[in-house]
Amino acid sequence: VSVFISLILYAFALHIHGIIAIRIIHGLTYVVLGTAVMAAVVASVPANQSGRAFGVIGIITILPFAVLPPLLKPLTSRFSFVSILICFGLLLFLGTFLVFFLEKPDKVSDSEKEKAKINFFVENEEILKKIPPVAIPITKKRNKGQSGGIQ
């Protein structure tokens, strides 16, 4: 809802200070919303499906950056930028009501989570063996007059 409000408020920002304030609210809302969605995904998606879920969320997150810029040029030739912001804000606001139609996921037990973790390592054992160990640089003891850094 606050993203919707931010989009509507852009229409009333007359000075740079107003735009900066709205931009801060809009940015903070975007970050909080993204964190909340990720927390909901972690809580509701089985461990063995989390990669797929994060992939879908990633695509959903970047899709507007791919779709909207090409649409903006023809839209701004027919409508004002403010009316476009209000229209997208209203669409976003109406879309939030879809949340009420979602099913509540079944609770995954701790034993099922542990089983999924074990299955991941068993299924990917060959891939995991190919990952080289991490090398940690170790510094030698310095004598007086030597500069710091890795020797």
Better-scored residue on pLDDT, 95 or 18: 18
Report residue 79's pLDDT band, with 50, 70 and 90 as the boundaries.
very high
Model confidence at 59: pLDDT above 50: yes
Q: What whole-number percentage of the chain has pLDDT above 90?
A: 5
Task: Give the tens place of pLDDT for each residue, 84-109.
Answer: 888 888 887 887 787 777 777 667 67
> How much is the mean pLDDT over the chain?
76
Q: Which of 143, 24, 77 minimizes the C-alpha distance to 13?
A: 24
Q: Is the pLDDT of residue 42 over 80?
A: no
Give the contacts of 37 (CB within 8 A, at least 6 positions apart): 57
Burial class (CB in 10 A: 0-12, 13-18, 19+), 7: buried
Is the pLDDT at 62 greater than 70? The verdict is yes
As a whole number of angstroms, the distance between CA 83 and CA 86 comes to: 5
> What pLDDT, on a 0 to 100 scale, did the predictor assign at position 17?
92
Structure tokens at 22: 């709205």
pLDDT 10s digits, 99-140: 777 777 667 677 766 666 666 666 666 766 666 666 555 555
Nearest to 29 by CA among 92, 91, 107: 92
- At residue 78, does pLDDT exceed 90? yes
pLDDT score of 151 more than 50: no
Write down the pLDDT at residue 124: 64
**DSSP character at residue 145:** T
